[in-house]
Amino acid sequence: MMMPTPTPRASSAQAMSATHSRSAGKRRCSTPYAACLALAAATPALAQIATFQALGDLPGGTYYSYALGVSADGSTVVGVSNSANGPEAFKWTALGIEGLGSVPGGSVPSAAYETNADGSVIVGCSRLNGATVACRWDDAAAAPLPSLAGWSAYSLAYCISSNASFIGGFSSTNPTGGDRTLATLWSDDAALALPDIANADDYGMASDVSDDGTLVGSVRDQSGQDQACAWSGGQLTLLPRLAGSGGFPAAAAQALAISGDGRVIAGNSPSSHGAAEACLWINGIAQGLGDLPGLPFASHAWALDRDGTIIVGDGNSNGGDAPQRTASVWDAEHGMRDLRQVLIDSGADVAGWTLHLASGVSADGTTVCGVGTNPQGNLEAFVAHVPCFRSPSVLAQPVPQSPCAGRDASFQIEVAGGESVAFQWRKAGANLVDGCTISGATTAQLTLHAVAASDAAQYDCVISNACGSVITAPAVLRVSTLVGDLDCDCQVGLTDLTLLLSNFGTTCN
């Protein structure tokens, strides 16, 4: 069977043509007083210049390279390129592009679809014994993945979790693909067929996997429609289509990516526009992401960052007299945007390039890979780095605290917003600095040591990056100085009495 045209986490049928913490302690300062006053953490400089890197191609063949995925840390891009031997899997790092070859005893074509967090394990496919088989590369050495029990022939690995514990893809009953194609999970050196829809065609495909082994992809229903779905704990869950898609029953819906924490799923669904529309599923609810300006309407979401807040893919845009497929990036603040224009606005040099598709994005949402037409007219893989695509957002707000006097108290937040995010904690609107009783004033966690009544106030944090800033909700610190307030809730009550009686008569060890 011919190798499928490389398509990011998708079937070849849709291929693109080319706590508060407490600790006992005394309120003291072990650092000289003058030095304490001088302790003020500097806000990190916010880098604002984006970069764009063409990846080149493997030597010996017709000029062509296609990036299919990027590692979570942004250091490694994988894909396929023409070499002297034919279409061959590659990985790219700061050292350049490197061909990965095929499995032992096999041959090209081969393709690398995805990699784990640091680029040390890569998955894809290679030819072996006349068939295309799923494989993995560890330290550049390739090995075929196990077949489903009683199965042989065609398989392909599309995705791998960041921790390299789970690999997803599909297996088929014969080298030509056949009618029986099952989504497959590889874990613990074994292959497991994932369930599909009962009394329907045996057809399923896993496109991405989260760190806990939740997979997303598509299955075919009784009417022959491809439906977006997820598998968790071996159970199949169908994902709803976008509102208004009922008039287009034959169009496919696919889940193509899942955030590392499993909370957000991205893909595409038919919509009221009469074509595929990039969409998100959050808590089982589908949200359309729109398209770039231009007709006809069409967009796809191929990958997302760790938090599911940056989505990359493609959309149709105006290209001269006709629409063209254009690499896109989406976030809630800006909607869907032309990636090339975002790079230009961020200072990157993309002169002479047309960017067709963004196929992968790093965990922090700052490194994007894809494919475009270079100034010489050849399809070529690229990687771009943007310090931020949007203003930071708060994923977890600080929680109010009520410690007893003399104990420590901490406020912690979780944010999304790319690299070079700066934090500034405030007390009643005034900036805090690290010193004798304060640590973490410019980090995601503020700790107040050996709190006193004077520390009671509202605390918040200003979070900034090159694209903007946001302020968290205020969190109140209440410090109990009441005699007998054993549970530190700023009142003396039955709980305190219970604590006293339960410890009455005990002595220190």
Note whether 375 and 256 are same-domain residues.
Answer: yes
SS3 448: strand
292 is a domain residue: yes
Residues 296-329 pLDDT 10s: 888 999 999 998 999 999 998 764 445 578 999 9
Q: Is the pTM of this model over 0.75?
A: yes
Question: How much is the pLDDT for 316?
Answer: 86
Residues 49-63 pLDDT 10s: 899 999 999 999 999
Q: To the nearest whole number, what is the mean pLDDT of the chain?
A: 84
Residue 47 has pLDDT above 50, yes or no: no
463 is a domain residue: yes
Q: How far is CA 70 from the centre of its chain?
A: 10
Least confident of 220-224, 237-241, 501-505: 501-505
CB 313 within 8 A of CB 302: yes
Question: How much is the pLDDT for 439?
Answer: 96
CA distance 334 to 331: 6
Q: How confident is the model at residue 466 (pLDDT cuts 50, 70, 90)?
A: confident
Give the closest residue to 10 by CA, choosing from 219, 309, 256: 256
Q: How confident is the model at residue 20 (pLDDT cuts 50, 70, 90)?
A: very low
Residue 232 has pLDDT above 50, yes or no: yes
CA distance 206 to 155: 12
Note whether 397 and 443 are same-domain residues.
Answer: yes
Residues 263-281 pLDDT 10s: 999 999 998 887 889 999 9
Note whether 346 and 437 are same-domain residues.
Answer: no
Residues 384-429 pLDDT 10s: 999 888 788 898 999 999 888 888 999 999 987 765 789 999 999 9
Note whether 362 and 405 are same-domain residues.
Answer: no
419 is a domain residue: yes
Top pLDDT among 201 and 48 is at 201
CA distance 389 to 416: 11
Residue 143 has pLDDT above 60, yes or no: yes
Q: How confident is the model at residue 200 (pLDDT cuts 50, 70, 90)?
A: confident
Domain extent at residue 406:
33-44+392-478
Note whether 244 and 354 are same-domain residues.
Answer: yes
Question: How much is the pLDDT for 247?
Answer: 58
Note whether 364 and 415 are same-domain residues.
Answer: no
99 is a domain residue: no
